[in-house]
Amino acid sequence: MSTIPATQLTTAPQDTRRTLIEVRDLKVEFNIRGGVVKAVDGLTLDIKCGQTVGIIGESGCGKSVTARAILRMVPKPGKITGGQILYYRVPRQKKLAGSNEVEVIELTKLDPDGEVIRQIRGGEIAMIFQEPMSSLTPVYTAGTHIHEAVSLHRLLPLKTVGDQMVERITQYRKVTREEAREIAVQMLRRVGIPKPEQRVDSYPHQLSGGQRQRVMIAIALSTEPDMLIADEPTTALDVSIEAQILDIMRELQQTANMAIMFITHNLGVIASMADEIVVMYMGKQVERAKVVDLFYNPKHPYTKALLQSVPKLGPKTGQRLASIEGMVPDPLHLPTGCVFHPRCPAFIAGKCDRHVPNWVQVGDNHWVRCLLYEE
């Protein structure tokens, strides 16, 4: 693995809160007819082990593209045109051997179909998608799906015959069909699917939407990944099922110290899930803060507007729900200056439409991109 030039070995102290993913100034562009769409423009964030980072924004703001960029799965004609995504990796074999040697892999430099990224995809960084209805291949059973992931990524120690203590087991083998099935049943049970011994042989069309999303989570977690990317995992589900799915994710995260990147446009969901939130608008991150800061002390006018558009219970009940003025701009012809200025209630003429705001720190781990907070 170390033959790949994008890889270098460093050592880090064991830390359950170590950084796992670091995105620096990421740019993703789609070269389509009529011009270039900057789907992600200058995104910077980091995700630590055991932490949940929420990414929130309207549809089309670049949050799904960001997730796919991490896995090097940006669909054509999209391209990563700038920035870095660093992955602080403890390879599976070393981890099993008890080592904490961290390799830094620059994901943005990997071959998107290469060996390394394929080990990471599904094995170390798993992803679940928005459409549970169509994210399972219709002709394969739930068990087959799990088997596929497990047989690729789960390694079991190869028993060596000997009477002395083996301190480091250096060889591993892939799981067998029977073991994979066992794992599949276990996983289905863990995500709360009734009668998992039977359901493991069910085809997707025999499962309900909620069950399918549970299966998706079971597939993703069956490989014991270090990070889970959840791209609007509950958007297509009923509210009651949504709550169950979120519970499962929270519970599994705690037991496995897994990082989660949680993408949604639902503020209520994100408040209950995330430790830290990134707000995106038209490909740019406009604010980043701890969840409490963001909800109680939002800085960016867009974030404020978003929060006001959430229905609330309390003293102000009875008022009309606020909405954000104006329309999402044409991504091919973004406004000059701050992209939010045509819709911004705090718009300053001659300033916001001329100057591009910088990413400035306004508090402890609280960043914002707005001219109101610049000198």
Partner 1 sequence: MLNYLIRRLGYALIMVVLVSFVSFVIIELPPGDYLTQKVEQLRARGDRSAELQVEMLRVRYGLDKPFLERYLNWAINFLRGDFGESFEFERPVSDILGARLGYTVILALATTLFTWLLAIPLGVYSAVRQYSIGDQIISVISFIGLGMPGFLLALIILYFSIVVFNLEVTGLFSPEYRDAPWSVGKVLDLLSHLWVPALISAITGTGGLIRIMRGNLLDTLGQPFVEAARARGLKNRTVIWKHAVRIAINPLVTILGAEVFPSIIVGSSLVAIVLNLPTIGPVFVDSLRKLDMYLAGTCIVFLTIMLLVGNLVADLLLAWVDPRIRLE
Partner 2 sequence: MAVATAPSSVSLVKKKELGQSYWDLVWYRFKKNRLGVLGAVLLFVLYFSFVVIPEFLAPYALENRSRYVEAPPTPIQFLDEEGRFQAPFVYGLERRVDQVKRLRTWVPDTTKKYPVALFAQGDEYMLLGLIPMNVHLFGLQTSDKDARIFLLGADALGRDYLSRILYGGRLSLMIGLLGQFLTLALGVTLGVISGYYGGPVDMFVQRFTEFLAAFPNIPLFMALSAAIPAFWSPITVYFMLTIILAFLGWGGLARQVRGLVLSLREREYALAAKSFGASDRRIMFRHLLPGTMSHVIVIATLSIPGMILAETALSWLGLGLRPPLTSWGTLLQDAATVRAIRFTPWLLWVVPPILLTILTYNMLGDGLRDALDPYSGRG
The answer to whether 172 and 245 are in contact (CB under 8 A) is: no
> What's the min distance (Å) between Cβ of 332 and partner 2?
7
Q: Could you say which of 37, 237, 286, 324 contacts partner 2 (CB under 8 A)?
A: 37
120 interacts with, out of partner 1, partner 2, none, CB within 5 to 8 A per kind: partner 1
Q: Could you say which of 3, 5, 14, 75 contacts partner 2 (CB under 8 A)?
A: 75
Q: Which two tokens stand for residue 173?
A: 């083998």
78 interacts with, out of partner 2, partner 1, none, CB within 5 to 8 A per kind: partner 2
Q: Could you say which of 5, 10, 76, 255 contacts partner 2 (CB under 8 A)?
A: 76
> What's the min distance (Å) between Cβ of 70 and partner 2?
14
Q: Which of 261, 224, 262 is nearest to 242 (CA)?
A: 262
Q: What is the C-alpha to C-alpha distance for residues 108 and 86, in angstroms, rounded to an integer?
A: 8
Q: For residue 48, list its beta bridge partners.
A: 19
Task: Say which residue the tokens 């229905």 belong to.
Answer: 311
Asked if 326 interacts with partner 2 (CB under 8 A), we say no
Asked if 236 interacts with partner 2 (CB under 8 A), we say no
Q: Where in 131-160 is the site for partner 1 (CB under 8 A)?
A: 131, 134-139, 145, 148-149, 152-153
Per-residue binding string, partner 1, 215-254, x by CB under 8 A, is -x--x-----------------------------------
Pairing of strands 259-264, 227-231: parallel
Q: Which residues contact 47 (CB under 8 A, 6 or more apart)?
A: 19, 20, 21, 22, 53, 227, 259, 261
Q: Where in 89-118 is the site for partner 1 (CB under 8 A)?
A: 113, 118
Pairing of strands 366-369, 284-290: antiparallel
Q: Where in 162-221 is the site for partner 1 (CB under 8 A)?
A: 203, 205-206, 216, 219
Asked if 69 interacts with partner 2 (CB under 8 A), we say no
Task: Say which residue the tokens 């100034």 belong to.
Answer: 25
Asked if 65 interacts with partner 2 (CB under 8 A), we say yes
- DSSP state for residue 356 in the 8-state scheme: P
Q: With respect to partner 2, which residue has the nearer C-beta, 37 or 273?
A: 37
The answer to whether 368 and 360 are in contact (CB under 8 A) is: yes
Q: With respect to partner 1, which residue has the nearer C-beta, 150 or 286?
A: 150
Asked if 288 interacts with partner 2 (CB under 8 A), we say no
Q: What is the C-alpha to C-alpha distance for residues 73 and 50, in angstroms, rounded to an integer?
A: 24
Q: Which amino acid is at 135?
A: S
Among left, alpha and beta (phi > 0; psi -120 to 50; other), residue 198 is: alpha
Asked if 30 interacts with partner 1 (CB under 8 A), we say no
Q: With respect to partner 1, which residue has the nearer C-beta, 153 or 284?
A: 153
Q: Using CB atoms within 10 Å of the CB of residue 338, give its burial: 0 to 12 exposed, 13 to 18 middle, 19+ buried.
A: buried
Which residues here bind partner 1, judged by CB under 8 A? 71, 73, 75, 113, 118-123, 126-127, 129-131, 134-139, 145, 148-149, 152-153, 203, 205-206, 216, 219
